[in-house]
Amino acid sequence: MHAGESAVVEQIYDDVLRRNPGETEFHQAVREVLESLAVVLARHSEYTEMKTVERICEPERQIIFRVPWQDDSGEVHINRGFRVEFNSALGPYKGGLRFHPSVNLGIVKFLGFEQIFKNALTGMPIGGGKGGSDFDPKGRSDAEVMRFCQSFMTELYRHLGEHTDVPAGDIGVGAREIGYLFGQYKRITNRYESGVLTGKGLAWGGALVRTEATGYGAAFFAAEMLKVRGETVDGQRVVVSGSGNVAVYGIEKVHQLGGTAIACSDSSGYIVDEKGIDLDVLKQVKEVERARLDVYADRVPSATFVEGGSIWDVPCDIAVPSATQNELDGEAAATLARNGCRYVVEGANMPSTPEAVRIFREAGIAFAPGKAANAGGVATSALEMQQNASRDRWTFEHSEARLAEIMRDIHTRCHQTAEEYGSPGDLVLGANVAGFLRVAEAVHAHGLI
Ligand code: NDP
């Protein structure tokens, strides 16, 4: 139908493949967005002429650096640090830092690219970026994590600033790491620049609800999807993968909305607790003790722990993948469909493979992509920046109400855009097109830069 525009999009994708060899996750993320854009180019020839899509696919700046540090026994380690400042058309670069041994440039670029559109969808003044390191904090002492964070920030600080680039947490980076990173930034710059990092502790510039925001936001988004179909979360069986920041608070809000989260996972396996996951125990095990999930099953008699295996074998109404990219493949999607799952809401970034998404579509499963459903985290980070800038502090209730409103707006924007562009109900297209349009308008307005 849009043959000319489809050919343009194919050409852009071929160029991305050629110029970024081996970066498979980045290719996957770009492909997913480009597949939605032919319909936009058909209405906006100026974006083809000015190569707006090509410019958005090319990061504005990519920083790669050495991070040397010493462990508690005195052994020297060398890790690699990354910050990809992808797009600043809408505001300072904004996006988390990930510390995980799997981190490489392709992963940081996929996350940074997704972040551009996610941040645009929030309606807040924030550009897109992402960073991290192949450092593995698992099993490291607090002192080791501190030394690593200090070494990491000793290089990264020169690229940051409240009006330039504002990192936050992601996998492996929580309140502890943000504290060490902020301390080192303050020490080097001699500036108490609260707005340079988000996810800060409540005692020193952090915002209420930031910790809960991504998980709560995903649950709010799910509630909106169900509402369109005349349903509510009340009484639904929910399976949430992961047991980190997103998963824990996703479960908390699901329970508050009357649903029952019956399973969650970590990289060692998953637990099933038909009575509903006991959040006090889960938080104690994962947030305080930083232990493995089998400890939960040791303490809760109604729970069983399954070592390895796929959490998607557990029958549910709503699946919320909240661990990592490509954790839910075609086989898992087929199992979910066979077991009667009706909604998939991505808490993580790109957790479903393209094959899984195709199967959801064919099975009539309503699907929300991460860039829409998990945008509550970064939106609340923008609220943290707003509070820092005005030296203000909002209540939990006020912040949560803002988050709920933002998630409702994102859902409405995606839903309406999908209809407007001829694919009703397709939230992937809705999110990609709505996010792209906001960024593209700003990129275009700023001239050829
Ligand atoms: P955490 O580090 O707090 O938790 C991650 C969870 O996922 C842990 O349970 C971890 O298990 C599991 N996990 C991570 N990697 C793997 C893997 N390769 N295989 C199996 N399990 C794995 O991270 P977050 O909860 O912050 O992030 C989860 C996802 O949500 C990521 O995709 C992130 O990008 C995305 N996200 C996070 C936001 C936030 O505000 N935190 C905002 C938007 C998106 P284990 O501990 O055993 O490794």
List Cα–Cα distances, 102 to 15, 171, 208, 243, in angstroms. Answer: 25, 11, 31, 18
Q: What is the residue with the minimal CA distance to atom 5 of ligand 1?
A: 244
The average confidence (pLDDT) of the chain is 97
* Residue 292 Cα: closest atom of ligand 1: 47
pLDDT at 3 over 90: no
Q: What is the residue with the minimal CA distance to atom 28 of ligand 1?
A: 323
pLDDT, mean of residues 298-316: 97
Span from the CA of 350 to the centroid of ligand 1 (angstroms): 12
Question: What residue ranges line ligand 1, CB within 6 angstroms?
Answer: 169-172, 214, 242-247, 266-268, 322-324, 347-349, 374, 377
Span from the CA of 142 to the centroid of ligand 1 (angstroms): 20
Degrees, nearest 5: CA angle 359-117-25: 55
Question: What is the pLDDT, as a whole number, of residue 325?
Answer: 97
From edge to edge, which strands make up the β-sheet containing 260-266?
303-307, 269-273, 260-266, 237-240, 318-320, 343-345, 366-368
pLDDT, mean of residues 270-287: 98
pLDDT band at 86 (very low <50, low <70, confident <90, very high): very high
pLDDT, mean of residues 318-335: 98
Mutation to probe ligand 1, out of 245, 285, 292 (largest number of atoms < 8 A from CB): 245
Span from the CA of 264 to the centroid of ligand 1 (angstroms): 12
pLDDT, mean of residues 298-303: 97
Question: What is the pLDDT, as a whole number, of residue 307?
Answer: 97
Distance, in Å, from the CA atom of 269 to the CA atom of 287, rounded to the nearest integer, reads 17
pLDDT at 421 over 90: yes
pLDDT, mean of residues 21-34: 98
Span from the CA of 362 to the centroid of ligand 1 (angstroms): 28
* Residue 241 Cα: closest atom of ligand 1: 7
Span from the CA of 321 to the centroid of ligand 1 (angstroms): 10
pLDDT, mean of residues 349-370: 98
pLDDT, mean of residues 137-165: 98
Which is it for strands 61-70 and 76-87: parallel, antiparallel or unpaired?
A: antiparallel
Q: What is the residue with the minimal CA distance to atom 23 of ligand 1?
A: 171
> What percentage of the chain has pLDDT greater than the value 70?
100
Mutation to probe ligand 1, out of 107, 171, 252 (largest number of atoms < 8 A from CB): 171
* Residue 377 Cα: closest atom of ligand 1: 40
pLDDT, mean of residues 74-93: 98
Q: What is the residue with the minimal CA distance to atom 4 of ligand 1?
A: 244
Mutation to probe ligand 1, out of 122, 246, 248, 285 (largest number of atoms < 8 A from CB): 246
Span from the CA of 421 to the centroid of ligand 1 (angstroms): 33
Active-site residue set: 130
pLDDT at 320 over 80: yes
Distance, in Å, from the CA atom of 336 to the CA atom of 313, rounded to the nearest integer, reads 7
CB 318 within 8 A of CB 345: yes
List Cα–Cα distances, 433 to 38, 255, 376, 416, in angstroms. Answer: 10, 32, 19, 11
Identify the structural domains of the chain with CATH numbers, from first to last: 3-57 (no CATH), 61-191 (3.40.50.10860), 213-373 (3.40.50.720)
In the three-class reduction of DSSP (H, G, I as helix; E, B as strand; rest coil), residue 384 is classed as helix
Question: pLDDT digit string (tens) for 236-258?
Answer: 999 999 999 999 999 999 999 99
* Residue 375 Cα: closest atom of ligand 1: 43
Q: What is the residue with the minimal CA distance to atom 37 of ligand 1?
A: 170
Span from the CA of 21 to the centroid of ligand 1 (angstroms): 26
Distance, in Å, from the CA atom of 129 to the CA atom of 166, rounded to the nearest integer, reads 9
Q: What is the residue with the minimal CA distance to atom 46 of ligand 1?
A: 266
pLDDT band at 1 (very low <50, low <70, confident <90, very high): low
Query: The whole model's pTM is what?
Result: 0.97
Q: What is the residue with the minimal CA distance to atom 31 of ligand 1?
A: 348
* Residue 351 Cα: closest atom of ligand 1: 32
Beta-bridged to residue 240, according to DSSP, are: 320
Provide the residue count of the chain. 449
Residues 6+ apart with CB under 8 A from 111: 95, 96, 98, 130, 170, 349
Question: What is the pLDDT, as a whole number, of residue 167?
Answer: 98
Torsion, Cα of 260, 266, 269, 272 (10° steps): -10
Span from the CA of 322 to the centroid of ligand 1 (angstroms): 6
pLDDT band at 2 (very low <50, low <70, confident <90, very high): confident
Q: How many CB atoms lie within 10 A of CB 163?
A: 11
Q: What is the residue with the minimal CA distance to atom 20 of ligand 1?
A: 267
